[in-house]
Chain A
Amino acid sequence: MKKILLIVLFLISRLAILRCYAGVSENCLWFEFDNPIESPQGIVTQPLFIGYGQFAAASKSIADLDGLDVFYTFGEKNKKREDVFYKAEIETINGRPCVRIISATVTWCAVIAIGRKINKVKYNYFAKTSFFLFGKNKDSINRKIPAENKILERRFNIGIYRERLKEFLNYNRLLGFPLRFKIDFDKSPFSNKDVCVIEENSHTYSLKTDRDGEFIYIPQDENNLDKPIRENYRHFLVYGEQKIEDKVYAAAYTVLLRVGYFNRNVNFALGISIFMISVIISLLIALKISRKYCS
């Protein structure tokens, strides 16, 4: 009886795991953020770990891949108005593959990893993420020679477009508010396709792109992240895949969720008090001055 019960429990757990990864039929390549490191000279280094396998589950080794290249861009364009990419060196930190993006100034950065695995089916993996680096040094770091753009052709591109919010029009809040994503495959919109969002806790949400390859996801708000510690953050992954004949293209975009500028640190009561006090004081001063200087 116990054995039957165990078998039933095992089957239920397997079903639950399968439910978790609904929509993710293949392995994927993804980035994971680590805490940025700032040097005394104001140079900021953002380490990004590279994961391969099933996100939030046991990761496979990238040695299983037949090829892996990582590129990054700071949004510069060349004369042909193409993005200028630089190749990143893959290192190993604590036994995990990692790339380090360095900037001395404040800049936006996008990082793309392209992996290949050739079996009976040819797998093409794309990982992407984007973030800001808040360097505090006025001198920019000389970049190496840009990578060939051809290597990035026919790529699976997932972009994030943050909605401007009524409450925080200038400042992007990430938690509890809609995030709009746009997916392109081979320079065309990834229209009416199933995609999924995988949270760190393995919860997977199946979504569908619209005609323009766009969809909206609202990450769940989390009070734990609303604390004055920069290190508080969580990731989630946007995943999409496309099968063409004997080729599989799988793309994963890592979204870093942490509290943005001004999030909830806006004190209106204190502000309006200061305003009223300044009105009263300036009124008294103005009246005193006007008596003194009355023409």
Chain B
Amino acid sequence: MNIQKIRKVIQISFFLLLIYGGYAGLRFKNFLPVWSCPNSEKYSQGCFLLPLQRSQYGLETGVQDSRGITLSGYFTIRKWQGYFYLFLGFVLVAIILNRAWCGWVCPFGTLQDGFTFIREKFKIREIHFSRKTKNRLKRLKYLSAISLIIIPFLVPFGFDSGPEPLFCQFCPVKSIMSVFVGDFLNLSVHSTNEMKLLQNLIFFVIPSVVTIIFAGISITGIFLKRRFFCFLCPVGALLGVFRKLRFLRIKKGVDFCNDCGNCQRICPMGIKKVDLEKAKEDESADNCILCLECIGACSVIEKA
């Protein structure tokens, strides 16, 4: 069994574990850096980005509600203890796996690979963006990560996101991933009779419509471009913060490289450095998800 087959088995196993583990009573809470909307309790994994946004309530009141009830009382987490474990879990993942998490574990990454598999089966060509467009796309993940961290801090200054954390209101992943456990609630247009028309529009109708549109764009994106969503993922950006501390690295045999360019062509993240770099051994660029496809495609290794 080659390394890619092993990776696929691992990816599918983690997909099943993290998405359907809830059926077997598994609960990892929010401690793994996974986007998976807790709208469905069938998930074994809550969304990592959710408690990150909820820091706002602690800041706002000084003391979190004793029962952990936050703005709308839907979610519970013990504030400081919860954040400590959250941070600890994330740091461990970031140091041990770093972005290998995205390539080997992340269920949404697996889903993207699944879409790529289907596209290739139908022999539909992948779209390619210019380097300029790609660089612009790459910046989006930092923008989303920064907004994720900054927006909660604006709440004490009157920035009210309504009954759900702001990021969740527009999160496309919640619509897509929920479908896997038979939950189509996030692919529906929401409205409420609890609020006036304008508030209803601002907090419910518009966010749900925007979420659905984002989900549609994401589906198109991940179908036409390998690992499209990884360009936008704030978790990837946050993992990148610990890049220098990571254990797992790819070392390139620069002396043996014959410049065939296979590694660059096969790279799902479109990293050019993997081919062009001739001086340094460490090839784990910012976006490298350690999928090892470049190693599988290397003509020198193949010959050897």
Q: Which residues of A contact B (CB under 8 A)?
A: 74-77, 83, 105-108, 132, 136, 138, 140, 164, 167-172, 226-230, 259-263, 265-268, 270-272, 274-279, 281-283, 286-287, 289-290, 293-295
Contacts and interface: CB of A to CB of B under 8 A. Distances in A.
Interface in B88-142: 127-131, 133
B188 interface: yes
Contact of B127 (A169, A267, A286): A286
B157 A138 contact: yes
B41 interface: yes
Contact of A167 (B38, B185, B216): B185
B224 interface: yes
20 contacts: A105-B61, A106-B72, A138-B157, A168-B185, A169-B38, A261-B163, A262-B192, A266-B185, A266-B189, A266-B190, A267-B189, A271-B189, A272-B187, A274-B189, A274-B212, A275-B175, A286-B221, A290-B224, A293-B129, A295-B128
B3 interface: no
Given A76-B66, A132-B73, A164-B41, A283 B220 contact: yes
A170 B74 contact: yes
A89 to B, nearest CB: 24
A268 B184 contact: yes
A227 B193 contact: yes
A284 B63 CA distance: 50
B160 A136 contact: yes
Interface string B186-227: 011111111000000000100011001101110111001000
A149 to B, nearest CB: 14
Nearest to A281: B216
A271 B208 contact: yes
A75 B67 contact: yes
B interface, by DSSP: helix, strand, loop or mixed? loop
Interface of B: 38-41, 60-61, 63, 65-67, 69, 71-75, 127-131, 133, 156-158, 160, 163, 175, 183-185, 187-194, 204, 208-209, 212-213, 215-217, 219-221, 224
B193 A289 contact: no
Shortest 7 CB-CB contacts between residues of A and residues of B:
A278-B216, A290-B127, A228-B193, A271-B188, A282-B220, A293-B130, A268-B188
Contact of B190 (A136, A262, A278): A262
Contact of A270 (B38, B133, B156, B189): B189
B40 to A, nearest CB: 6
Contacts of A132: 72-73
Contacts of B219: 279
Contacts of B221: 282, 286
B232 to A, nearest CB: 14
A167 B41 CA distance: 11
A232 B187 CA distance: 28
Contacts of B217: 278-279, 282
B241 to A, nearest CB: 30
Given A169-B39, A270-B189, A286-B221, A138 B158 contact: yes
B216 A275 contact: yes
Given A76-B65, A172-B74, 14 more contacts: A229-B193, A259-B193, A259-B194, A263-B192, A265-B190, A266-B185, A272-B184, A279-B219, A279-B220, A282-B221, A287-B127, A290-B127, A290-B128, A295-B131
A286 B191 CA distance: 31
Contacts of A229: 193
B252 to A, nearest CB: 23
